[in-house]
């Protein structure tokens, strides 16, 4: 057992205990029960960031249950591919090329949806990008562009959705936050700031809806742990290492949670035990949780992983790579770990050989 493990084991146990308390408090992960899927048929869902990752996964699940899925992202050709698959699965797709950092694009997305389907039942603000590295090493323009996408894009989408919801008298807005909405993430400062703002926005909007008497409109913020999607391929990266994070979640877990909360709206949802533990631990021991998370981030994002050149990722232009739901990060991390263990065994055997030769 290494020094870092010994030092933080009590903290891990405390956070795990907090997780148990959190789960017992009734904040378990929401997912769609098979019986609930029947209510999806014929509903209209707007999904930003639908060309890959969670957005694509949600779109395909909804289509398989007969929903109208409005697919929004910058990569038109990829959206057409998703639309073909959605149509084959039984859904009715509409492709609307959208840059969420452009307010006019988002307004057009809402208008084209209503023109085609007559209403919007659920709007999912999912599109987001990352920027990894020490805050001072990430160019200011990159950080500003991240805020344009992750925060302004959610504000634009929320504004368009709520105007339509208030006109029709109902609707559910689902904003995809992150565990970083609650717990600051070292080496992802602007990303954490954007996701914290998304959580605050949702809380504020729910209060305004309550005060205005809009009982049939809900804003939900979904907060997953790190998820194995192409997000990590698309992220801007100035850490000097290939991006990774330990114990990534399967995207299907988060896809199910997003669909579940669209059917049974609630204001906030931390997805999975790791996100719940972090969320609860930060409420109970904020400084300890932040230090623990910071040390994990330093180990995984600064010290571990093969060297990588700086890149702005998909901040300014969409990337051709990374069009699937899963990002393959867990498999690559497992392979690197296996190779590392093999190298350690080979080195140990090589070091032992001279000693045997001298006998």
Would you please indicate which residues are annotated as catalytic (active-site) residues?
A: 191
Burial class of residue 34 in the structure, from the number of CB atoms within 10 Å of its CB (0-12 exposed, 13-18 middle, 19+ buried): exposed
- Going from the C-alpha of 230 to that of each of 58, 127, 312, 319, the distances in angstroms are 15, 12, 15, 10
In whole angstroms, give the CA distance from residue 277 to residue 273: 6
In whole angstroms, give the CA distance from residue 112 to residue 92: 14
| Both tokens assigned to 273 | 């035990």
CA-CA-CA-CA dihedral for 331, 84, 122, 224, to nearest 10 = 0
| Both tokens assigned to 274 | 């790791």
Q: Which helix (H) or strand (E) holds 260?
A: helix 251-263
Contacts of 228 (CB under 8 A, 6+ apart): 248, 249, 250, 251, 326, 327, 328, 329, 330
Q: Report CA Rg, the chain.
A: 22
CA atoms within 13 A on the CB side of 264: 14
Give the number of other CB atoms < 10 A from CB of residue 52: 27
Tell which phi-psi region holds residue 74, choosing left (phi > 0), alpha (psi between -120 and 50) or beta: alpha
Contacts of 238 (CB under 8 A, 6+ apart): 131, 132, 133, 134, 137, 138, 139, 310
The residue among 358, 289, 323 whose CA lies nearest residue 11 is 289
CA atoms within 13 A on the CB side of 310: 7
């Amino acid at each position: 057992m290494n020094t870092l493990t010994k030092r933080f084991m009590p903290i891990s146990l405390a956070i795990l205990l907090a997780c148990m308390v959190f789960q017992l408090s009734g904040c378990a992960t929401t997912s769609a029960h098979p019986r609930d899927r029947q209510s999806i048929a014929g509903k209209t869902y707007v999904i930003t960031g639908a060309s890959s990752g969670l957005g694509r996964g949600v779109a395909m699940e909804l289509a398989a249950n007969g929903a109208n899925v409005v697919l929004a992202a910058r990569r038109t050709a990829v959206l057409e591919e998703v639309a073909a698959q959605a149509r084959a699965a039984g859904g009715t797709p509409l492709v609307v090329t959208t840059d969420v950092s452009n307010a006019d694009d988002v307004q057009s997305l809402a208008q084209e949806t209503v023109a085609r389907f007559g209403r919007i039942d659920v709007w999912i603000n999912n599109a987001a990008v990352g920027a990894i590295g020490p805050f001072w090493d990430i160019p200011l323009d990159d950080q500003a562009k991240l805020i344009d996408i992750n925060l302004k894009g959610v504000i634009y989408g929320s504004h368009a959705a709520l105007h339509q919801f208030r006109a029709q008298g109902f609707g559910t807005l689902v904003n995809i936050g992150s565990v970083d909405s609650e717990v600051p993430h070292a080496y992802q400062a602007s990303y954490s700031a954007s996701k914290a703002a998304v959580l605050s926005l949702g809380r504020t909007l729910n209060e305004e809806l309550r005060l205005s008497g809009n009982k049939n409109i809900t804003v939900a913020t979904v907060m997953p742990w790190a998820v194995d999607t192409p997000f990590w391929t698309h992220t801007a990266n100035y850490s000097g290492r290939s991006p990774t994070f330990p114990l990534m979640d399967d995207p299907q877990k988060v896809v199910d949670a997003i669909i579940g909360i669209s059917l049974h709206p609630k204001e906030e949802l931390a997805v999975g035990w790791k996100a719940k533990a972090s969320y609860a631990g930060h409420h109970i021991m904020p400084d300890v949780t932040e230090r623990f998370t910071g040390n994990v981030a330093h180990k995984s994002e600064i010290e571990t992983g093969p060297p990588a050149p700086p890149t702005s990722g998909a901040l300014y232009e969409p990337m051709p790579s990374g069009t699937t739901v899963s990002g393959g990060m867990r498999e690559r991390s497992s392979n690197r770990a296996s190779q590392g263990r093999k190298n350690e065994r080979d080195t140990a055997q090589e070091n032992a050989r001279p000693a045997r030769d001298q006998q």
